[in-house]
Amino acid sequence: MSDLTIRLLAVPKAAGMLRHAVREHLGADASPDAELCVSELLANVIAHLGEGTPVTLRISGSGRATRTRVELTDPDPRTRPLPRQACDTEESGRGLALLASVSLRWGVSRGRDGKTVWCELPREPSHSTP
């Protein structure tokens, strides 16, 4: 399996397209957790940088890799996502907690041209028939 790279504008309707692309790309190894992570990362960009922000999604973990890496890059290196404790009555604020709960690890990498929020998920073994 080769890596998947998609460049797009962060808008709410893109979430479904990205989840579908992840499912198609991962095939038999598709993970609902990868789809959840993509949705949450995109939602964070929309909430904190605004609709229409250019982003790049990358999914990697080819060959015999035991992990799938999900990355979303945006153009703002200054803002760093921080987990927070959402109150019971709040409708948002749980995205990074969800990311942390389903991933093996997650983090933020900054570069000259932006930042990348990433997470690594366990890769499901392929089920091949003998």
CATH code for the domain in which residue 27 is found: 3.30.565.10
Indicate the pTM of the whole model.
0.82
d(CA 8, CA 12): 12
| Of residues 101, 17, 111, 5, the one with CA closest to residue 62 | 5
Q: Pairing state of beta strands 114-122 and 67-74?
A: antiparallel
Q: Provide the pLDDT for residue 61.
A: 80
Q: Provide the pLDDT for residue 89.
A: 56
Q: Mean pLDDT in the chain?
A: 83
Give percent of the chain above pLDDT 70. 77
Residue 111 lies in a domain: yes
Structurally, the chain folds into a number of domains equal to 1
Residue 127 lies in a domain: no
Average the pLDDT over 85-96 and give the result: 58
* Cβ pair 68, 120 in contact under 8 A: yes
Per-residue pLDDT tens for 9-25? 999 999 999 999 999 99
Residue 88 lies in a domain: yes
Residue 90 lies in a domain: yes
Range of the domain at 13: 4-122
Residue 130 lies in a domain: no
Residue 129 lies in a domain: no
